[in-house]
Amino acid sequence: MADFDVEEVIAELALHEKVSLVSGIDMWHTYAVPRLGVPSIRMSDGPNGVRGTRFFNGIPAACLPCETALGATFDEELALELGKLLGQECKAKGAHILLGPTINIQRGPLGGRGFESFSEDPVLSGTLAARYCEGVKEEGIIPTPKHFVCNDQEHERMAVNSILTDRALREIYLLPFQIAMQSNPGALMTSYNMVNGTHASESFPLLQDILRKEWGFDGLVMSDWFGVYSVSQALNAGLDIEMPGMSKFRGAALSHAVSSNEVKEHVLDESVRKVLTAVKRSFASSGIPENAPELQRNTPETSALLRRAAAESVVLLKNEGDILPLAPTKKTLVIGPNANIAAYCGGGSASLPAYYTVTPLQGIKNKIGEDKVLFSQGAYGHRDLPLIGDRLRTAAGEVGYTFSVFAESLEENPNRKPVEVVQMTSSNAFLMDYANKNISGTLYYVTMEGIFTPEESGLYDFGLSVAGTGQLFVEDKLVIDNKTKQRGGTAFFGMGTVEERGSVELEAGKNYKVHIDFGTFPTSKLRQGSVVSFGAGGVRFGGCRHLEEKPAIEEAVAAAKAAAAEGTQVVVCVGLNSDWESEGYDRPDMDLPPNTDELVQRVLDVSPDAVIVVQSGTPVTLPWVKNAKALVQAWYGGNEGGNGIADVLFGDVNPSAKLPLTFPTTIEQNPSFLNYRSEGGRVLYGEDIYVGYRYFDKVKQQPLFAFGYGLSYTTFAFTNLKVDEPKAGVVTEQVLTLTVDVTNTGKRDGAEVVQLYVSPPAVNDTLSGIRRPVRELKAFKKVALKAGETKTVTIKANVAQSTSFWDEKREAWQSEAGTYKLTAEGTGADNKLDVPYTVAKTQYWTGLVKNPYA
């Protein structure tokens, strides 16, 4: 089990072996040196589940709620538990390193990958990330916080130059990583983008001056996949391993760079040392053998934890007249595009095949019984047609379709035989990591074939998007031609086409053969020169019954009107899904999918007490919000999302989550509005440190829903706030301790989040004259309380982290002398207390601060 001496191995290694060790051998594995006892270790995505080694036809896994949902819990202990679960999932998938958590900052609502990060606030993000990492490490797995740093948009993400002040870089974007370092995660992933003119993966100031020297990080630094842009500069800056393999920059080119002294061999040795140390540590701590099989561990305990996490992430935004919780004894009409689909995760690297999923409709049926639940579609919410693979059957009657791989095209050899036939259930086949010994290179051909049996007669829409070329046939009739002419789109990380569609009239109960002929990425007619090629491309096909928009809305409105007259409860489920929020592209606007707003408003017109459930990873525009009496934000809830929503709607779980990011009324109200997306190869972080709630506080503008906001089915009151000031000393070692009595003043058991905000001295009362945010979150604590119960809650915070700003002249943090205001905020606009706190003298510092709970 990797019982080798790192220094002895380095002394024995040949140059070509050293060069091989600092890059991967494939998508997920490191290089092994068997003659010296050095095995290969495996990495896996992350951050909300462990996919294993396969994008293509992967092994199902536990899918956690998205990280924005976990941010909404404000629950460090839950983050620790979920980290442990991820560590256990890594063991099932044979993965020694988990590529997560993602702790980038949501500058604004449009980031395609925003759902993958915890919050707009660096302290909330960093604190939860540290606990997440600790949980992963408890299972002997190495976590990998990412993406270091300023990977906050998808537009031109590999080329964009993020231009920002040192103060914003330190106070907002680096701070979550700085806090996460308290957990000593063991690995870190760099981002694709440039930071002030230099790619992060080759930035000496970021990787050496800050990460290594100032923060003392001694772990492995890896690139994002295909996120290396140089031979010598990246290695000299301290990028230890290039992923994935085979290497673009670290083969013969690196050997030549070493032999010509562009890279000193001792510098290469240092990166080799980091790789070998990670290999040795991970084998010793995890017990995972080399090239372990990938397994499933779908246990009742896993389901219970995922259900609790899903429910505890749901934010109650409105509840006028105490409409919620709903009565489980009453009939319930469920309407909407997100009701009968499982929007369980966002798209891209965070996506994975789940053990199972639960839709909101099924969750409600599970809660109150199928006989009491009615359903009306109302509208569709998909951007691309729903995947159809699990609704097909093979010729043998098994669920799914056959995926037959050929080395030659049908035109080249009409009598060709497949080199492999795979049974698939997902009709999204990304071939980034597909391999077959009979296929050389990325050019090959695939035929997919299955039988579709519609439950209803009518017109059916089919859709096909490819990174390559493809044609879709129904009963051998060409329905979609995505081969002859092609239009560029966002599929497969920007490699692919838009979804082309075609329609066919089908009869209920009749079997129809559906097949697709596909050629891999080298056959593509697109010329998207800036796109990185992720393997051999991919193919995605979907389908569903055609829905006429106006009649479908009218039908749902009629059902809602009848339900209101009969006393039937109404729930409307709307939102986004992985089509709209995904790695590879940003959202064009904040809007819900077409026809959604009309559906919601029309239902509210006839059923004013309808409960609106919104699923999204980031804020959406809610033009009908004033007319809604009951509104919940439910995010992407993972495997158990539908059950978690039902638990909250029917009162089995009292909602306690708070918004981890600000919901503006419109996109124009967001502070990054004028400076989002790449223009001329750069993006200016013009809002500076005033991200999210810091901006709204500063300009005294009310957003739609504020950061930290969230209601409960009970009420709480704070009393007796006290602060124990630390003794004089080095500011990074000082810890202030607050206590506050929290009482559940309502009739239901519930949980309260105590949020500690720090407000600086008035700018005119300071020597620096530096303007600062009105208040900043510096700590938080969640506490469960029975009805009528009072508990004393203790919150600890490091003085340096709580009182400092980044002094650009001194290039150091400054904890400035003066009187600060400490505010404990909870549920309800009036539930807050404050107390003064005095910093006696100004101190400057760099590095990491003391963990206040250590």
What pLDDT was estimated at residue 829? 87
What pLDDT was estimated at residue 534? 80
* 94 domain-assigned: no
DSSP state of 490: S
* 26 domain-assigned: no
Encode 256-286: b = buried (16+ Cβ within 10 Å), e = exposed: ebbeeeebeeeebbebbbbbbbbbbbbbebb
The dihedral of CA 207, 209, 210, 211: what is its sign?
Answer: positive
User: Do 275 and 22 contact (CB within 8 A), yes or no?
Assistant: yes
We report the CATH number of the domain holding residue 633 as 3.40.50.1700
Residues 557 and 656 in one domain: yes
Q: Give the integer Cα–Cα distance in Å for 633 and 622.
A: 11
How confident is the model over 741-763, as pLDDT tens digits?
A: 999 999 999 999 999 999 999 99
Residues 621 and 634 in one domain: yes
Is residue 853 very low, low, confident or very high in pLDDT (cuts 50, 70, 90)? Answer: confident
* 200 domain-assigned: no
User: Do 121 and 707 contact (CB within 8 A), yes or no?
Assistant: yes
Q: Which domain holds residue 465?
A: 384-545
* 297 domain-assigned: no
Question: Of 483, 513, 545, which residue constitutes the final position of a domain?
Answer: 545
Tokens 């959604």 sit on residue? 596
Residue 572, strand partner residues: 335, 612
Residues 614 and 533 in one domain: no
> For the residues 415-421, what does the mean pLDDT come to?
96
Among residues of the chain, what percentage have pLDDT more than 90?
A: 94
Is residue 529 very low, low, confident or very high in pLDDT (cuts 50, 70, 90)? Answer: low
Q: Give the total number of structural domains in the chain.
A: 3
* 431 domain-assigned: yes
Contacts of 533 (CB under 8 A, 6+ apart): 442, 495, 521
Averaged pLDDT score across all residues of the chain: 96
We report the CATH number of the domain holding residue 529 as 2.60.120.260
Residues 318 and 408 in one domain: no
We report the CATH number of the domain holding residue 764 as 2.60.40.10
Distances (CA, A) of 573 to 334, 462, 648, 660: 7, 24, 14, 21
| Residue in 201, 256, 250, 258 with CA at minimum distance from that of residue 224 | 201
Alpha helices in 51-174 (DSSP H): 67-73, 76-93, 122-138, 166-168
* 805 domain-assigned: yes
Report which of residues 631 and 535 the model is more confident about: 631
Answer yes or no: is pLDDT of 45 > 80.
yes
> For the residues 649-670, what does the mean pLDDT come to?
98
Q: How many CA atoms lie within 13 A of 679 on its CB side?
A: 6
How confident is the model over 776-829, as pLDDT tens digits?
A: 999 999 999 999 999 999 999 999 999 999 999 999 999 999 999 999 999 998
Residues 518 and 610 in one domain: no
Residues 473 and 579 in one domain: no
Encode 780-797: b = buried (16+ Cβ within 10 Å), e = exposed: bbbbebeeeeeeebebbb
What pLDDT was estimated at residue 148? 98
> Number of helices (H) and strands (E), helices first, in the chain?
18, 36
> For the residues 460-465, what does the mean pLDDT come to?
98
Answer yes or no: is pLDDT of 315 > 70.
yes
What pLDDT was estimated at residue 433? 87
How confident is the model over 717-729, as pLDDT tens digits?
A: 999 999 998 888 8
DSSP state of 208: I
Residues 400 and 314 in one domain: no
- Asked if 224 is an active-site residue, the reply is yes
Residue 28: both structure tokens together: 């997920």
What pLDDT was estimated at residue 854? 75
Residues 425 and 408 in one domain: yes
Residues 444 and 410 in one domain: yes
Is residue 74 very low, low, confident or very high in pLDDT (cuts 50, 70, 90)? Answer: very high
Q: Indicate which residue of 75, 224, 240, 807 is catalytic.
A: 224
* 632 domain-assigned: yes
Question: Of 506, 523, 545, which residue constitutes the final position of a domain?
Answer: 545
Residue 825, strand partner residues: 755, 832
User: Do 93 and 285 contact (CB within 8 A), yes or no?
Assistant: no
Q: Give the integer Cα–Cα distance in Å for 824 and 182.
A: 24
What pLDDT was estimated at residue 532? 64
How confident is the model over 162-185, as pLDDT tens digits?
A: 999 999 999 999 999 999 999 999
Measured CA angle at 317 (ends 312, 318), to 5 deg = 125
Tokens 């797995």 sit on residue? 141
Residue 788: both structure tokens together: 């009528």
Distances (CA, A) of 2 to 38, 263, 280, 284: 6, 28, 6, 7
Residues 634 and 666 in one domain: yes
Q: Give the integer Cα–Cα distance in Å for 25 and 241.
A: 11
Question: Of 545, 570, 595, which residue constitutes the final position of a domain?
Answer: 545
Residues 605 and 684 in one domain: yes
What pLDDT was estimated at residue 727? 81
* 313 domain-assigned: yes
Residues 309 and 425 in one domain: no
Q: What is the pTM of this model?
A: 0.96
Q: Give the integer Cα–Cα distance in Å for 723 and 735.
A: 11
| Residue in 659, 776, 785 with CA at minimum distance from that of residue 711 | 659
User: Do 679 and 395 contact (CB within 8 A), yes or no?
Assistant: no
Is residue 1 very low, low, confident or very high in pLDDT (cuts 50, 70, 90)? Answer: low
Distances (CA, A) of 816 to 318, 689, 758, 773, 799: 40, 18, 13, 14, 11
> For the residues 437-447, what does the mean pLDDT come to?
94
How confident is the model over 367-386, as pLDDT tens digits?
A: 999 999 999 999 999 999 99
Is residue 531 very low, low, confident or very high in pLDDT (cuts 50, 70, 90)? Answer: low
